[in-house]
A = this chain, B = another copy of it.
């Protein structure tokens, strides 16, 4: 069998489903056997949303790690061609890291709330508990927003 785009649509979908199943299994097994974080994201035309594995929350968690690496990890050590421009880029990157961090906190709150909604946990809670939860998230968001505004104010002085 040759490794190329499968032109036959039905055969392609069958293959897609089979291999997707295997991919998920492989992620699960690698996670269990080796005790490491693994996630996969599939973006196919078969679903309007990306399919993520093992779970949206877990994927978010792993992406956070990935991103903090992308931004911080490679920062200074490659910067031995002393250039004003490159310094400037590192500065921007550092600011970005801070804003990203705030964003992620905010997002995590929102995602938690969404997950609760999706799982219908919220429907089983009484109104008071729901309101408490919402206020808590709301406070968190306000706190984060204020932090982000501060960040930008400091930047412009």
Contact = CB atoms under 8 A, between A and B. Distances in A.
SS class of chain A's interface: helix, strand, loop or mixed?
Answer: helix
Contacts of A49: 69, 73
Contacts of A111: 70
A126 interface: no
A36 B43 contact: yes
A50 B117 CA distance: 31
* Interface size of A as a range: 35 or more
A34 B50 contact: no
A38 B50 CA distance: 10
Contacts of A71: 107, 110
Interface in A1-43: 3-6, 12, 15-16, 19-20, 22-23, 26-27, 29-30, 32-43
Nearest to A140: B92
Nearest to A49: B69
A31 to B, nearest CB: 9
| Nearest 9 A/B pairs, CB to CB | A85-B134, A36-B44, A37-B43, A92-B141, A16-B34, A50-B66, A40-B40, A49-B69, A19-B30
21 contacts: A3-B29, A4-B32, A5-B34, A16-B30, A16-B33, A19-B26, A19-B33, A22-B26, A27-B40, A30-B42, A36-B43, A38-B40, A38-B43, A39-B40, A50-B62, A71-B107, A83-B134, A85-B134, A88-B141, A89-B138, A96-B107
